[in-house]
Amino acid sequence: MTCDLANPIFTDEAKATEHMEADRWPNGVNCPHCGSLNVHKMAGKTQAGMFLCNDCREKFTVRTGTIFARSHIPLRKWLMATYLMAASKKGMSALQLSRMLGMSYESTWFMCHRIREGMKPADPAPIGGRSSVVEADETFIGGKAKNRAYAKKDPKKHAVMTLVDRDGESRSFHVANVKAKTLREKIVTTVSRKSYLMTDELASYEKVGKEFANHGTVNHSANQFAKLGGFVHTNTAECRFSLMKRAVFGTHHSISEAHLPRYLTEWDFKWNTRNITDGERAALALKGTEGRRLTYHGPH
């Protein structure tokens, strides 16, 4: 996928379909029902993009078995939305995208969430490892009523924990609370115990820290950021939180608890692909959508 929005894959449905077929089946089209390579393209005008499997006799298109399967949205719009979401540093609101794509807000909103599903790590292997530093930090988001004079009470705050390998990947979670047991469960299933764990002095980290090769703590209140010549800090995670608060929650004004994990997925995905180009990132997001089925169903 190129970065050029004038690319015909974003405007011409046949070109978009060809692009997705080449991307999904680089070594020849194979049947998503039985895996056979013995397939042929159907010729009728109403059968554009349709294949027939000569072995199992099932029909399929490039959408079959992907998150696009139940969608009536043209593939060129899916491609455009995937590209725009992957390329935008701060994220794009469904409202913004719906205007750009000329689609209803509701359809765009569902499309955005499906694309986020494609951004989940394909292989969520533990992060960190020997001689890696993994920072853990927690923050609270939401909770501010827009208009305090009229709001009856502040909306609920949500705790989010981020685990970030200074030189590698990041995983963020919506957690029920920041108690030791809750945080430990996420940390030990996400971070390799061979890592150097770096946290603040929250008591919840004390015990779990002992399970790791090393545990460094930063005392925020004492403003002790430069401990050990600058090695002991949680600035990577903190910096990501302030960016997240500004970008994600500035772009998407109200994020419900149910959908929060998908925004976190998008946020991690952008960090984890920070060293590749926008075009490569978009291609990766697209690849993710191909291997996944919908885990929830919308009206479109």
CB of 50 to Zn ion, least distance (A): 13
Please pick, from the candidates 34, 37, 48, 276, the single residue that binds Zn ion as defined by CB under 5 A. Answer: 34
Q: Which stretch binds Zn ion (CB under 5 A): 54-62, 103-111, 239-247, 264-272?
A: 54-62
Q: Which stretch binds Zn ion (CB under 5 A): 36-44, 154-162, 202-210, 229-237?
A: 36-44
Told to check if 29 binds Zn ion by CB under 5 A, we report no
The residue type found at 49 is: G
Told to check if 31 binds Zn ion by CB under 5 A, we report yes
* CA pseudo-torsion sign 31, 37, 38, 42: positive
CA distance 292 to 280: 19
Q: 69 and 63 in contact (C-beta within 8 Å)?
A: yes
CA distance 204 to 184: 8
CA distance 300 to 297: 8
CB nearer to Zn ion: give 58 or 201.
Answer: 58
- DSSP classification of residue 259: T
Write out the E strands in the chain: 39-41, 51-53, 59-60, 133-142, 157-165, 170-175, 196-200, 214-218
Beta bridge partners of 216: 198
Instruction: Please state the separation of Cα 113 from the chain's center in Å.
Output: 9
Told to check if 70 binds Zn ion by CB under 5 A, we report no
Told to check if 119 binds Zn ion by CB under 5 A, we report no
Q: Which stretch binds Zn ion (CB under 5 A): 56-64, 98-106, 169-177, 246-254?
A: 56-64
CB nearer to Zn ion: give 29 or 161.
Answer: 29
Told to check if 53 binds Zn ion by CB under 5 A, we report yes
CB nearer to Zn ion: give 12 or 290.
Answer: 290
Told to check if 33 binds Zn ion by CB under 5 A, we report yes
Told to check if 37 binds Zn ion by CB under 5 A, we report no
Told to check if 251 binds Zn ion by CB under 5 A, we report no
CA distance 41 to 52: 6
Told to check if 64 binds Zn ion by CB under 5 A, we report no
The residues that touch Zn ion, with contacts defined as CB under 5 A, are 31, 33-34, 36, 53, 55-56
